[in-house]
């Protein structure tokens, strides 16, 4: 009887206080202080491509996206390119005077492995026309950072990181900083 009670007690203790196994932790990795935040439910693959959503997209937006992609390729962390043929990832434009966003990136992922499987970048021409070409390229680089899984940063100490969330003329970075690269390297593991 005593052995049975010890076994039941041990079983209750292991059930109550034993380790919890999770297939994947959900939440953020990094912080404002670290200079990068990755939404861990949005982890990227190491390579990606895109195609334009329609032939009506102005060639200037294809060009700035190509430049943003080149800046991420130059890091050696994320390989992204424009595949004019069919791709599930797209770039497009809209003209929304009611929006304060220069661009928006939407990502889709499977919940079993949390890898981004599809994304869309939409540039808001209404605001983008107010920027210099260099600023537009920085916005494109920032948006491609979202396709990797990086989130916006809002602390002013991060205004030299490409993922600084107050874009456009407030964005001081033109390419991924060391902190952006650290976050990207974690995101594509």
- Domain-wise residue ranges, the chain: 35-188
Q: Rounded CA gap, 162 and 26, in Å?
A: 24
Distances, alpha carbon 8 to alpha carbons 5, 19, 20, 31, 95, in Å: 5, 18, 20, 44, 67
CATH architecture designation of domain 35-188:
3-Layer(aba) Sandwich (3.40)
**Cβ-based burial of 6 (10 A; exposed 0-12, middle 13-18, buried ≥19):** exposed
Positions in the chain short of pLDDT 50: 1-25
Which has the closest alpha carbon to 121: 48, 27, 29? 48
State pTM to two decimals. 0.80
Residue with tokens 């874009």: 167
pLDDT in tens, 31-80: 999 999 987 656 666 667 666 655 567 888 889 998 999 999 999 988 88
């Amino acid at each position: 009887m005593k052995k049975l009670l010890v076994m039941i007690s041990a079983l209750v203790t292991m059930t109550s206080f034993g380790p919890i196994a999770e297939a994947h932790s959900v939440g953020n990795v990094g912080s404002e202080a670290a200079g990068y935040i990755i939404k861990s439910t949005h982890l990227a693959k190491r390579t990606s491509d895109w195609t334009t959503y329609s032939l009506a997209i102005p060639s200037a937006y294809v060009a700035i996206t190509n430049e943003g992609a080149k800046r991420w390729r130059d890091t050696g962390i994320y390989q992204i390119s424009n595949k004019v043929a069919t791709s599930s990832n797209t770039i497009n434009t809209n003209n929304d005077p009611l929006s304060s966003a220069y661009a928006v990136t939407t990502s889709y992922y499977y919940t079993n492995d949390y890898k981004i499987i599809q994304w869309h970048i939409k540039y808001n021409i209404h605001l983008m026309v107010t920027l210099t070409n260099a600023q537009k390229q920085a916005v494109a680089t920032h948006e491609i950072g979202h396709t990797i899984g990086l989130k916006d940063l809002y602390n002013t100490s991060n205004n030299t990181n490409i993922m600084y969330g107050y874009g456009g003329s407030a964005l001081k970075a033109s390419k991924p900083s060391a902190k952006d690269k650290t976050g990207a390297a974690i995101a594509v593991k």
